Amino acid sequence: MGKLLSVVLLLFSFQAASTPLVFRIDDQQTITLSQQEIAQQFKPTTFTTQLPWFVDEKTVTGFRVVDLLEQYGIDDYTSVWFIGLNDYSSITTKENIIQYDPIITYEMDGETIPVRKKGPFWLMFNLSKYPELDKIEFHSQMVWQLKEIVILKQ
């Protein structure tokens, strides 16, 4: 039984490591990014913040949403739609992305985030830097188990 459990956990860890992030522009162009491509294309950003789901502060690493948009030459958008593996989704306005500079987190406390711990990707605002965001309106925008990002231009 112990060996079977080990194999199952190993398979889930490989699945988390290989889960791609899909990036779409207004239901037109689709780009699929692996974790390796993300590491090669985007400068990592790290910060330590308090989060409502944890007792202690967490140090998170990821890439800035604005860097993703700049990488693909997108500046004529109104908002960004973030969709999780369970199809939970939230829309963040352009103004909030520019003002509060959220990141797509892929590491927490120095380790990749498995699906069972809300990974492999998680939209995150720095609540310690911007305490005015520490309310349900912004907590609900921090989509975990992120699978897809859609740029809305309307």
The full set of domain ranges for the chain reads 2-152
pLDDT class of 4 with cuts at 50, 70, 90 = very low
Q: Chain-centre distance of CA 133, in angstroms?
A: 17
Give the mean model confidence (pLDDT) for residues 10-21. Answer: 57
DSSP 38: H
What average pLDDT does this structure show over 4-18? 43
The answer to whether 57 and 49 have CB atoms below 8 angstroms apart is yes
Cβ neighbors of 124 (< 8 A, separation 6 or more) are 49, 51, 60, 62, 102, 103, 104, 105, 142
What fold does the segment set 2-152 form as a domain? Sulfite Oxidase; Chain A, domain 2 (3.90.420)
Task: Please give the Cα distance from 149 to 30 (Å, whole number).
Answer: 10
pLDDT tens digits, one per residue of 61-99: 999 999 999 999 999 999 999 999 999 999 999 999 999
**Structure tokens that stand for 23 in this block:** 């990036």
- Which has the closest alpha carbon to 102: 124, 129, 119? 124
Q: Each residue of 128-149: pLDDT tens digit?
A: 999 999 999 999 999 999 999 9
Tokens of 95: 């103004």
Residue type, 44: P
